[in-house]
Amino acid sequence: MLISRYRLLDLLIDLPRQRVERDGMALDVAGLSFQLLAHLLAQGDRVVSFDALMSAVWAPAVVNEETVTQRIKLLRQALGDDGRNPRYVRSVRGRGYQLCAVPQALDEGRENRVVNHRAGRKTIALLLVVAILIGAVLILLRPTQSEKITSVAAPDIVSRAAYYAGIGQNDNNERAIDLYEKALASTPQNIDAQIGLSRAYSARVCLYNAGRDWIARAQALASAVLAEDAKNAKAWAALAYAQDCDGRIDAAIDGYEHAFALDPLDDPSRASAAYLYQEKGRLADALQTNLDMHGDASRVRFREVQIAHELELLGFPTVAEAHYRRIYQLNPDNIFSNIAWPRFLFVQGRFAEAQTALDQSLARNTERVDLHLLAAELALVRGDRASAVQAFGKASRLRPQSSLPATIAAIYAAQPPSSAWLKLRIDETRTALQTAQAWPADRLELVLLELAAGDKPAALAELDRAVAAGYSDKAYLQTSPLFHALAGDPGFVSLIDAIDHRVAGERQRVLAADWCPAEIKAAP
């Protein structure tokens, strides 16, 4: 019998499902991290060299030992392992890596036989069978070194492109784009390639700081599929993602709702719609939608962070903190939790803790604009304007096509912007908000510009529009040094009260609902 499940100490690893559990809870081990773990399992507790790992996990891509070391670090973080006192994976100086314990092969959920290469012939035979199985799984996930992409049929190319796109890294997203484009060059009507390329183009902008012109291409690809098949759920999801990245919130909601109505198992679209409900102040709808998952909710990486934020906005900070903390500890490579946890600490006024968490997040990922914006705000809190200017500049350079980071960087630059520049920027920003389906939070940029221009009444008027449209994060407005000029103003106090009143209604809706989580009902 082929073995597809393993136990490594307190971990349960399911190869076909690419799932790692501890005490019944799924850990965020996916993509290259899962492949790496799978290959180590195939070797029992033998030392695996850098070359062997690069060949088995990364080929045909060319990487170096540092890439392997960084991926081991991410794997350890996902497993909750400590490289200084390893429990699951240890480094062997000058040689490579090995598992700290002999993995056990499980048969239908029961412990079968110990995979130990030093045991007798029966165990060796079992190890070979296991290695063949794992090799087969890895082959399905990636191309081999000997294959030439030009000789592979389009469906195979699309399958590999989808694999690379799902890893969640910039270089792999670019590999996916290259493969999708090759597939469409040979079969222009390949629907899966059109949809996949649309999503990868959108990811270039949303996740990896590329220019907004890619959004138009993403929308065109998804729209072309829908023109032929208006009931294609994946195409609706791709179109919604492009519109989401473009800041067209109402159109994105409509697209996501089409997607999960056509495919009830499309939980990522359901969670994406929930996020946009949250942004429009529909907090009860957001929480209910995020709780109403129809498939494996653990595979929606941003869902748990959204639930935590909804609980925070609804006025359950203790429950929210427990969620944020758990996600941050269990999913160290989750880009959403890496900003959400330090930001939560920041808006709670726990600045020292926020800085510690932010430093850890920056060590994990330095390419997130939000991390550098938060770093700048924390610097302003402690009176270090020079560091704030540097961090605002870093955020602006990471995403030069994004308006808000550039605006804040200009306002806080060593040389303040001229009144003419501010007037022009205000006019441009207001026009953009009038001609697009703006997010309520987008108006905060105008608030900052009006404050920089010295027009507090105009700033309050823009904030009033944001609150009326659903903006609900009063804690951020009260905590961020960017808005300290409004503190104590009667108009600002009135807007905070307006947020409180609306949120109280949303909170009551949640507490009265039959789907209200028990942890909320028990909260103070």
Q: 108: domain CATH number? A: 1.10.10.10
In a domain, 264, yes or no: no
pLDDT at 144: 40
Q: Which two tokens stand for residue 275?
A: 């996020």
Please identify, among 141, 164, 194, the residue that sits at the C-terminal boundary of a domain.
141
pLDDT at 36: 87
Q: What is the dihedral of CA 25, 30, 34, 35, to 10 degrees?
A: 160
Please identify, among 141, 167, 186, the residue that sits at the C-terminal boundary of a domain.
141
Rg of the chain over all Cα atoms, to the nearest angstrom: 25
CB under 8 Å to 152, separation ≥6 — which residues? 143, 160
In a domain, 472, yes or no: yes
pLDDT at 131: 47
State pLDDT tens for residues 383-409: 999 999 999 999 998 877 778 999 999
pLDDT at 130: 45
State pLDDT tens for residues 434-488: 765 678 999 999 999 999 999 999 999 999 999 999 999 999 999 999 999 999 9
SS3 (DSSP) at 130: helix
Long-range contacts of 251-259 (CB under 8 A, 24+ apart): 251/437, 252/276, 253/277, 258/233, 259/233, 259/234
Taking 50 as the pLDDT cut, the residues of the chain under it are 1-2, 108-132, 134-152
In a domain, 106, yes or no: yes
pLDDT at 68: 84
pLDDT at 205: 86
pLDDT at 436: 59
In a domain, 291, yes or no: no
pLDDT at 235: 95
The pTM score is: 0.67
In a domain, 32, yes or no: yes
In a domain, 354, yes or no: no
Please identify, among 123, 141, 159, the residue that sits at the C-terminal boundary of a domain.
141
pLDDT at 118: 38
pLDDT at 63: 66
C-alpha atoms less than 13 angstroms from C-alpha of 130 in its C-beta half-sphere? 30
Q: Characterize 474-484 residue by residue with b for buried, 16 or more Cβ atoms within 10 angstroms of its Cβ, and e for exposed.
A: bbbbebbbbbe
Count of the separate structural domains present in the chain: 2
In a domain, 20, yes or no: yes
DSSP 418: P
Which residues are registered as beta bridge partners of 89? 99
pLDDT at 114: 36
pLDDT at 348: 95
pLDDT at 366: 65
Task: At 464, give phi and psi (nearest 5°).
Answer: -60, -40
The C-alpha atoms of residue 429 and residue 484 are separated, in whole angstroms, by 22
In a domain, 316, yes or no: no
pLDDT at 38: 86
User: Which domain covers residue 16, as residue numbers?
Assistant: 5-141
